[in-house]
Structure 1
Amino acid sequence: MTQGASPGTIVLGWREWVCLPGLGLPAVRAKVDSGARSCALHVDTHWRFTDGGVPWVGFRVAPGTGASIQACAPVLEEREVTDSGGHRSRRVFLRATLRLAGVEREVDINLSDRRGMLFPMLLGRTAMAGAFTVDPARSFLHGRPSGDAVPSLKKPR
């Protein structure tokens, strides 16, 4: 255990591979950012629709595997987010299962344009709270996920 880590917490490096199985994303490079409140996922495009009176968001993402993945999920909420440059924008949030270092937990993720960033996902502090600590001198401590993600969520019938 890294010095200063609480018993029972898992140490992460400043970058890690994560899996979002319910979205069909078996391996996504994520920047671990305790300065960011929420998680952000780069999407190439997204669109809103309603099914059965429930708001949904569909989106397309290319997680770096060469293939583009299309998924959809119920909209959790929409709220203002301030990026690291101080720019505010209204973003769609969804809730998804995150798998990292043998731990699965539900996290809130906003969909954003991270084009030009090195990491398609940002892992924020609310997703890490109570389970993880960060060692900024290390990276990719837990390896790449095995690729056993479940298929993308389908629109309900």
Structure 2
Amino acid sequence: MREWINLPELGMIGLRAKIDTGASTSCLHASDIQPFQRDGEDWVRFTAHLGTLVQRRHRCEAPLVTVKNIKSSTGHVQSRYVIRTDMTLGDRMWPVEFTLTCRKTMRYRVLLGSKALVTGQLVVNPALTYVQDKPVLLDISGAP
């Protein structure tokens, strides 16, 4: 299943996300990941990679939640930075934790895991895809 999402705090609108109920954690394709301190707090700076046919890069900064060891379906363990940012899907918005990792060999740059789905109180019908309309960027007045 796939859906359109926004990550407005990171300035990213109209991302294709793969819904993966078999994955616990959500992840975002990122490179050039650099932890840093801001006002005594841990932050991370990274380049998000968007799009599948046309590659776009977007430089982001976000507070660092933690560093987590993630085990892949093949059993490989990788240490990843974790951020939390608001995500919109359809008319809903809620905070989602994303691990930052290289997904350049994957078709979808964003993967939504089961924790994000449960927190957002979403019901998944695997027979359907792109149930929500593609998001549009709104100006400050709220008009499309």
Q: What TM-score, normalized by structure 1, do the two folds share?
A: 0.82
Q: What's the CA shift for 1:52?
A: 1.8
Q: How does 1:49-128 map to 2 (within 5 A)?
A: 49-64=36-51, 66-128=55-117
CA 1:148–1:44 in 2, change beyond 3 Å: closer, same or farther? Answer: farther
How big is the alpha-carbon RMSD for the aligned residues of Structure 1 and Structure 2? 1.7
CA 1:140–1:149 in 2, change beyond 3 Å: closer, same or farther? Answer: farther
**Total equivalences in the alignment:** 137
Q: What's the CA shift for 1:101?
A: 1.7
Q: How many Å separate the matches in 2 of 1:87 and 1:145?
A: 35
Q: How many Å separate the matches in 2 of 1:106 and 1:15?
A: 19
Which segments of structure 1 move beyond 3 Å, counting only runs of 4 or more?
none
Q: What's the CA shift for 1:70?
A: 0.5
Structure 2 residue 23 is the aligned partner of structure 1 residue 33 = no
Partner secondary structure for residue 76 of structure 1? strand
Partner secondary structure for residue 144 of structure 1? coil
Instruction: Percent identity, please.
Output: 30
Partner secondary structure for residue 68 of structure 1? strand
Q: What's the CA shift for 1:51?
A: 1.5
Q: What TM-score, normalized by structure 2, do the two folds share?
A: 0.89
CA 1:149–1:119 in 2, change beyond 3 Å: closer, same or farther? Answer: farther
CA 1:58–1:29 in 2, change beyond 3 Å: closer, same or farther? Answer: same
**Partner AA of 1:76 in structure 2:** V
Q: How many Å separate the matches in 1 of 2:2 and 2:139?
A: 20
Q: How many Å separate the matches in 2 of 1:142 and 1:39?
A: 19
Residue equivalent to 1:42? 29
